[in-house]
């Protein structure tokens, strides 16, 4: 039975994250310490150096040979349910469309597994919970983010082709005297994968998880320890991961005109997907593979974690519903403590 002491432990683990967020917000909004270009530089430092090492560090801590494959299968089933629902909505609903399908998938699948998830699960369920949420992050970085990038790339290429030939212009108008067989065709899957591959190669976050998993496989297979000189080099940056990530979120908040930037209706839509639909589908997937007890509780709670910061980064890069994703990240992170504690208490009551 969960008591006030357990809830206090969760709040104690989460409060430092919010302290870093407030410091980032105040440094721009109240104290005027940083200008927008300074904030961009800090964000780049976090994106290209601190977060990749942070991700690598946590991924190397797991034992891939002892991963909970039922838990991972439940995650896969939940995402498959979401993809199927989005496909049916886009295909058969008059309001369904591809751009909103991408945003809906992002809102309902990508959560903040490491920055918020690790300290939260550690406080709630100890090392066992921390280990499971790291396993979830591996699937997110190696599968779901790649699927999202493919969706973004497909829209981007199609949009470019649609702009290349407009209804009022013939190919001759655009290129001079060319042969209606030289009209651009839809890109093949191989071309899309190349586009995605280039973008992934430029972002160290995309393969930090893969490198960490590779080391975890090798080190646990032959009982190796990471050389101290390498471990120290990783740790000195990794330890700043949670704090700097939340600080950067505070900077971003301060640069926005308002926290709820997309209106009440779309904000409610994003919160519904993140805090209701995502854990509900995870519950279905978990029950389908027979998860019970603490594993079931951890699966549902980690699915209700606030929106991943990376989802906003991708939305901004591809210029698709940026205000919706920024609101989901900022507002979702702010309200996540009471929501997650509520899940924690309710699931404990149901399991007893």
Q: How large is the greatest C-alpha to C-alpha distance in the chain, in angstroms?
A: 77
Q: What sign for the dihedral angle of Cα 319, 152, 45, 118?
A: positive
Q: What sign for the dihedral angle of Cα 122, 125, 126, 129?
A: negative
Give residue 240's domain range: 4-145+203-351
pLDDT for residue 164 = 60
Dump the DSSP string for 71-135: HHHHHHHHHHHHHHHHHHHHHH-TT--HHHHHHHHHHHH-B-TTTTHHHHHHHHHHHHHHHHHHH
Position 148 pLDDT exceeds 60: yes
3: buried, middle or exposed (CB in 10 Å: 19+, 13-18, 0-12)?
exposed
Please report whether residue 333 resides in a domain. Answer: yes
Please report whether residue 307 resides in a domain. Answer: yes
User: Once rounded to an integer, what is the mean pLDDT over residues 317-322?
Assistant: 88
326: buried, middle or exposed (CB in 10 Å: 19+, 13-18, 0-12)?
buried
- % pLDDT > 90, the chain: 57
Please report whether residue 48 resides in a domain. Answer: yes
Cβ distance 134 to 128 under 8 Å? Answer: no
Three-class DSSP category at 14: helix
- % pLDDT > 70, the chain: 92
In this structure, what is the dihedral angle of CA atoms 48, 51, 54, 60, given to the nearest 10 degrees? Answer: -70
CATH of the domain at 29: 1.20.1530.20
Please report whether residue 180 resides in a domain. Answer: no
- Average predicted confidence (pLDDT) for the chain: 87
Please report whether residue 127 resides in a domain. Answer: yes
Tokens encoding 222: 């032959």
Please report whether residue 175 resides in a domain. Answer: no
Residue-wise pLDDT tens digits, 238-249:
999 889 988 988
Please report whether residue 120 resides in a domain. Answer: yes
Please report whether residue 282 resides in a domain. Answer: yes
Domain count, the chain: 1
Residue-wise pLDDT tens digits, 61-96:
899 999 999 999 999 999 999 999 999 999 898 888
Residue with tokens 């655009």: 174
Query: Measured between alpha carbons, how far is 43 from 251 in angstroms, rounded to an integer?
Result: 9
């Amino acid at each position: 039975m969960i008591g006030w002491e357990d809830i206090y432990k969760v709040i104690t683990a989460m409060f430092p994250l919010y302290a870093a967020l407030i410091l980032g917000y105040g440094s721009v909004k109240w104290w005027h310490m940083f200008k927008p270009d300074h904030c961009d530089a800090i964000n780049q430092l976090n994106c290209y150096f601190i977060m990749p090492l942070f991700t690598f560090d946590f991924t190397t801590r797991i034992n891939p040979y002892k991963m909970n494959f039922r838990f991972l299968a439940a995650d896969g089933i939940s995402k498959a349910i979401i993809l199927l629902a989005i496909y049916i909505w886009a295909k058969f609903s008059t309001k369904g469309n591809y751009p909103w399908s991408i945003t809906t998938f992002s809102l309902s699948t990508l959560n903040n597994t490491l920055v918020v998830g690790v300290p939260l699960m550690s406080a709630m369920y100890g090392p066992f919970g921390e280990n499971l949420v790291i396993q979830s992050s591996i699937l997110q970085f190696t599968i779901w983010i790649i699927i999202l990038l493919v969706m973004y790339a497909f829209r981007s290429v199609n949009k470019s082709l649609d702009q290349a030939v407009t209804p009022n212009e013939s190919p001759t108008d655009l290129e001079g005297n060319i042969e209606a067989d030289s009209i651009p065709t839809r890109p093949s899957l191989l071309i899309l994968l190349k586009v995605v591959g280039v973008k992934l190669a430029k972002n160290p976050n995309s393969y930090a998880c893969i490198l960490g998993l590779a080391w975890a496989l090798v080190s646990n297979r032959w009982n190796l320890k990471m050389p101290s000189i390498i471990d120290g080099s990783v740790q000195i940056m990794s330890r700043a991961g949670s704090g700097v990530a939340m600080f950067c979120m505070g900077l971003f908040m301060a640069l926005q005109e308002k926290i709820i930037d997309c209106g009440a209706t779309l904000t409610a839509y994003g919160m519904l997907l993140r805090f209701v639909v995502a854990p509900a589908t995870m519950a279905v997937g978990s029950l389908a593979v027979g998860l019970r007890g603490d594993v079931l509780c951890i699966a549902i709670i980690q699915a209700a974690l606030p929106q991943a910061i990376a989802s906003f980064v991708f939305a901004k890069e591809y210029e698709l519903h940026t205000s919706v994703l920024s609101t989901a990240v900022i507002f979702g992170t702010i309200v996540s403590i009471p929501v997650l504690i509520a899940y924690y208490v309710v699931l404990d009551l149901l399991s007893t």
